Amino acid sequence: MKIMNCPLNGPRNISEFVWGGEVREMPDPVACSDREWAEYVFIENNKAGFVREWWCHVPTSFWFIAERNTVTEEIVRTYPAGELFSRRVEFGAKTKDEQR
């Protein structure tokens, strides 16, 4: 069984983790085309080689990023999501209006 290094809990059996999909940028849900949106929702790149993915350590519900090579099955690096996502994400100006 593979071992994955959880940035919070250290090395653990892979059975303690679930996969959360590729790290991908969401297209602007208002401005993008239907096709762009459909590709975002339904198409996984499923790349052979280096990928960047979401993984979750289930017992502690900790989400992090793992970079691995799907050809060699090597887990290259794992790190907290904060390294990639450091700023608050906003969706349009209407959010504020609606909060009134």
Partner 1 sequence: MRGGINRLPAPFGRAIDRSRPIGITFEERDFDGYAGDSVASVLAADDQWILSRSFKFRRPRGVLTMAGQDANTLVQIGSEPNVLADRRLIEPALAVSAQNYDGSLEVDRGALIQLFGRFLPVGFYYKAFYKGGSWKYWERIIRNRAGLGKVDTYAHHGYFDKQYLFADVAVVGGGPAGLSAALQAAAGGGEVILIDEWPLLGGALNYARIDRDGDKAAALGDRLVDQIRATKNIGVLRDAVCTGWFSDNWLAVIQGNRFYKLRAKSVVLATGSLEQPAVFRNNDLPGVMNGTAAQRLIRLYGIRPGRKAVVAAANEDAYGVTLDLGDAGCAVQAVVDLRRSAGDGAMVRAVRGRGIPILEGHAVIEAIAATGKHGIIAASAARITSEGQTDGRAMTFECDLLCMSTGYSPAGQILHHAGTRFAYDHATNMFAPAVLPPHVFAAGSVNGTYRLEAVLAEGRRAGWAASQDAGCIGASEPQAVTGDRGGEGQTHAWPIFPHKRGSDFVDFDEDLQVKDLVNGIADGYDDIELLKRYSTVGMGPSQGRHSAVAAVRVLARETKTDLSQLSVTTQRPPYMPEKFGHLAGRVFEPERHTAMHHRHHEMGARMMLAGLWYRPAFYGKAEQRDRAIRDEALAVRNNVGLIDVSTLGGLDVRGPDAAEFLNRLYTFAYAKQPVGRSRYVLMCDQSGAIIDDGVACRFLDEHFYVTATTSGVDAVYRLMLQWNAQWRLDIDVANVTAAYAGVNIAGPRSREVLSKICHDVDLSPEAFPYMGVRMGSVAGIPTRLLRVGFVGELGYEIHAPASQGEALWDALMAAGGTAGIRPFGVEAQRVLRLEKGHIIISQDTDGLTHPHEADMAWAIAKNKPYFMGGRSIAIQMKKPLTRKLVGFTVDDHSAPVPEECHLTIRGSEITGRVTSAVRSPALGRTIGLAYVAPDQAVAGQIFDIRIEGGRMIQGRVVPIPFYDPENKRQEM
Residues near partner 1 (CB under 8 A) are 1-3, 14, 18, 20, 29-30, 32, 34, 37-38, 40-42, 54, 56, 58, 61-63, 73, 81-82, 85-89, 91-95, 98-99
Shortest separation between residue 47's beta carbon and partner 1, angstroms: 20
Shortest separation between residue 37's beta carbon and partner 1, angstroms: 5
Strands 62-69 and 50-57: antiparallel
* 46/95 with CB nearer partner 1: 95
* Contact by Cβ (8 Å): 73, 22: no
* 50/92 with CB nearer partner 1: 92
Place of tokens 């339904």: 42
Shortest separation between residue 29's beta carbon and partner 1, angstroms: 4
Backbone angles phi and psi of 86, in degrees to 5: -110, -15
93, 94, 98, 99 alpha-carbon torsion, rounded to 10°? -20
Residues recorded for the chain: 100
